[in-house]
Structure 1
Amino acid sequence: MQKYKPAWYLDLHEANGLSSASKDVLGQTLITNSGSPAVPAVRRVIKHMNGRVVRRSHRFHIRMHKLKGSSRTAAADRLKAKAVTVETCWSLDMNIRINYQTEVVRSFLREAGLI
């Protein structure tokens, strides 16, 4: 990362539970650091995704916090990248998770002006 100094950093993950059911789980969230320049784009991506998500319980939410030792926080702090962790819920069907992750990545590529 230090060599290429990316403007964006996406960390794709899967988590247990749906964030719409409990604030204690991370499934279906986009996480960025509070005050990050990525926040407006994250909000737009969530709006886009939730316009496509049929089931209300599968909707995406934003979380904002630094996680010490995480690659997302390191990319944001050290490289000044717009860093986001994407969490889909592992209890959803694999094809659904893949489609969600693919569309989230496409949305961020549009945000970055790459497609």
Structure 2
Amino acid sequence: MLPISALAGDPSASIPSDSAGRWEGTATEFQGIYSGPAGAKITLDLKPDGTFTETWKEGARTSTTSGTWREHGKTLVLESGDPSHARLALRRRGDALYTVALEPLPSGRATTTSIELHPAER
């Protein structure tokens, strides 16, 4: 995987592709020994103009972030002004976007999660 800093200077990395559209999936916490597993449902809307809106739902709690996105090869990068979700790099394999990252859940608990998204039914 390329470091995020390697993507910043490539102008072709800012051109959205066929990844635009709605993606849905889950963020699942890696099992910890001191707490039960947590998870969230994710909806990611990638707009053709290079902007995105991401919504995480954990039980009755919801958090929404927006920003810009770009692709470089098989890596999709989300960037926002929200310090808790400043940058996230997702890999694309077939019809899936995935990563492992330290992310805050809507409950406020930051945890290492496995994120997997697939195109929404259209």
- Normalising by the residue count of structure 2, what TM-score does the alignment of the two structures yield? 0.27
Higher helix residue share: 1
Higher strand residue share: 2
- Normalising by the residue count of structure 1, what TM-score does the alignment of the two structures yield? 0.28
Structure showing greater relative contact order (alpha-carbon pairs closer than 8 Å, 6 or more residues apart):
1
